[in-house]
A and B are shown apart, each in its own frame.
Chain A
Amino acid sequence: MFDTAFSSNDLMFLLKGAWLTIQLTVVAVAIGTVLGVVFGWARESLPGWVNVPIGAVLDVLRSVPLLIQLVLVNSGKSILGLSWSPFVVGAVVLGLYTAAYCTEIVRGGILAVPATTRRAARSLGMTYWQDLTSIVAPIALRVSLPGWIGLTLGVMKDTALVMWIGIAELLRSSQIVITRIQEPLLVLAIAGLIYFVISFPVSRLGAFLERRWADDSLKADQ
């Protein structure tokens, strides 16, 4: 009745692809978050002549398709004679792409801290650095976390594009299996399920934190 050529080896092959997807996501989000925090702070705190060019570059990263960016960096590295592996190229491009979005999220978080709160911290004798780490960071973190979770999920899905520069991540692996066993619907359904299994818990966690922290801020108001 239900007959398939899909073997446990194929499943292992897909899971190996999924592992690469997860690795790439973690590296890209790590790069993107560090840069995003630095740029987000810079966009809010540094004078216009630093912050406008940074903003312009990040805007370009957000307005050009990721696929084009991947091809550009991939050919750019050959032009410059760098011997980066496709994984490094993918991680760099995705990392910068993540940074472009993370910057706006961090910036929104910093902007959400009332100026009066910061001035109060400074009047209490805190240094600029103390104000930033003990007052601004905790408040900004709460505001930005839901957006950051959404971004992480987005990056996880965008890693699918690195197949174009020759990395066999989850989607590319499933295409290889499809070519072999000629059962596209089944294989794609399994790949889709794996994507779903990766992202659904994270998105639930995001929703949970958002709800919980929203309640918390209500309590603080009362």
Chain B
Amino acid sequence: MNYTFHWNQALRRLPEMLDGALVTLQVASLAMLIGIVIAVFLAYGRLSDNRTARAVATGWVEIARNTPALFQIYFFYFGLGSFGLRLDPFSALLAGIAFNNAGYLAETFRGGLQAIPPSQTRAARSLGLSALQTSVHVVLPQMFRIVFYPMTNQMVWSILMSSLGVIVGMTSDLTGVTQELNARTFRTFEFFALAAVLYYAMAKLTILAARLIGWRLFRT
């Protein structure tokens, strides 16, 4: 082995990489928020009696779960060009991960919704709550409690998935920054090893933060 590691060179660039990590967290969180909102609708759509709603929701879920996340990002980056819509790498990445998150979370939420006894909905309705009020005040709070742990996993997935942005030319997130530095210095191993450490730290911090939030919200 005649290779000399230059860890100092990588460590000197740590501030830039930490900025990248911040962008990664932003993309992942934003994609998660959008995904959660869409997933609630998809989950209700999957359980709905309306045939169209069910078809749309099922189609979304099946595509999101049966094709690679990178394929979905590709679709938003290259595919939308056919409609004259050009997304920059950031938007394409965000849209791709949000689409993916929504598909996976919809199935989780559906399980959560089904775990809540229908008698509760009937009780709420007979007390005079509207369908919307029943969902917002009775069903959804309990559902979020049930699905909180799987949601934490999805958030970690969201962070790891955001590394794919570099393939469509994203340069500001952690992997993008790392790739840029790599292209300038050819210290591939050092920079990517550092990136791996940062991703690991982000994943663990996310789980820790979720524990704290979960404890604060649900006392579990």
- The interface bits of chain A over 178-214 (1 if a CB of B lies within 8 angstroms of the residue's CB, else 0) are 1000011110110110011001100100000000000
Does B189 lie within 8 Å of A72, measured CB to CB? yes
| CB of B188, distance to nearest CB on chain A (Å) | 4
Residues of A within 8 A of B178 (CB): 68
Q: Taking the complex as formed, is B215 at the interface, i.e. its CB lies under 8 A from any CB of chain A?
A: no
CA distance A185 to B3 in the complex (A): 45
- By the criterion CB–CB under 8 Å, are A71 and B188 in contact? yes
Does A23 interact with chain B (Cβ within 8 Å)? Answer: no
Is B71's CB under 8 angstroms from A185's CB?
no
How many A-B pairs fall under 8 Å by CB?
107
Closest to A80 in B: B1
Interface string of A151-162 (1 = CB under 8 A from B): 001000111110
Contact A195 B82 (CB under 8 A): no
Contact in complex: A203, B66 (CB < 8 Å): yes
- CB neighbours (8 Å) of B63 from chain A are 192, 196
Residue of B nearest to A197 (CB): B66
Chain A residues with CB under 8 A of B1: 79-81
A115–B69 Cα distance when bound, in Å, is 40
A164, A174, A184: the one contacting B167 at CB < 8 Å is A164
Name B70's contact: one of A63, A68, A171 (CB within 8 Å).
A171
CB contact under 8 A between A160 and B66, given known A65-B199, A79-B1, A171-B74: no
Q: Are B71 and A188 in contact (CB under 8 A)?
A: yes
The minimal Cβ–Cβ distance linking B160 to chain A, given in whole angstroms, is 4
Complex: chain A residue closest to B162, CB-CB = A65
The verdict on B204 contacting chain A, using a C-beta distance below 8 Å, is yes
- B69-99 contacts to A (CB < 8 Å): 69-71, 74-75, 78-79, 81-83
Q: Is A138 an interface residue (CB 8 A)?
A: no
Chain B nearest CB, measured from A4 CB (Å): 12
A199 interface neighbour in B66, B81, B156, B161, Cβ under 8 Å: B66
Q: A68-B175, A72-B189, A72-B192 are in contact. Are A175 and B74 (CB under 8 A)?
A: yes
CA distance A164 to B189 in the complex (A): 15
Chain B residues in 8 Å Cβ range of A81: 1
Of A153, A164, A188, which one neighbours B66 at CB under 8 angstroms? A153
Given known contacts A164-B167, A192-B63, A79 and B204 CB-to-CB distance under 8 angstroms? no
| Nearest CB in chain A to that of B83: its residue | A185
Binary CB contact string for chain A from 39 to 73 against chain B (1 if under 8 A, 0 otherwise) = 00000000000000000000010011111110110
Residues on A with beta carbons closer than 8 Å to the beta carbon of B70: 160-161, 171
| Interchain CB contact under 8 A, A200 and B74 | no
Majority SS of interface residues in chain A?
helix
- Name the contact of A188 in the complex, choosing from B74, B83, B193 (C-beta under 8 A): B74
Q: When the two chains form their complex, are residues B71 and A68 in contact, meaning their CB atoms are under 8 A apart?
A: no
Q: Which residues of A contact B67 (CB under 8 A)?
A: 157, 192, 195-196, 199
Which of B68, B71, B189, B195 touches A79 (beta carbons < 8 Å)? B189
Q: Are B200 and A188 in contact (CB under 8 A)?
A: no
Assess whether B203 is interfacial by the CB under 8 Å rule. yes
Is residue A166 contacting chain B, with contact meaning CB distance below 8 A?
no
What is the distance, in angstroms, from A68's C-beta to the closest C-beta of chain B?
A: 5
C-alpha gap A164/B68 in the complex (Å): 14
Pair B66/A163 contact, Cβ less than 8 Å: no
- Complex: chain B residue closest to A150, CB-CB: B65
**A residues lining the B interface (CB < 8 Å):** 60, 63-69, 71-72, 75-76, 79-81, 153, 157-161, 163-164, 171, 174-175, 178, 183-186, 188-189, 191-192, 195-196, 199-200, 203
Knowing that A65-B163, A72-B189 are A-B contacts, what are 12 other residue pairs whose CB atoms are under 8 Å apart, sorted by A's residue number?
A63-B160, A64-B200, A65-B175, A68-B192, A68-B199, A160-B70, A184-B79, A184-B81, A185-B82, A186-B82, A188-B74, A195-B66
Sample (5) of A-B pairs whose CB atoms are under 8 Å apart: A64-B200, A81-B1, A157-B71, A159-B68, A199-B66
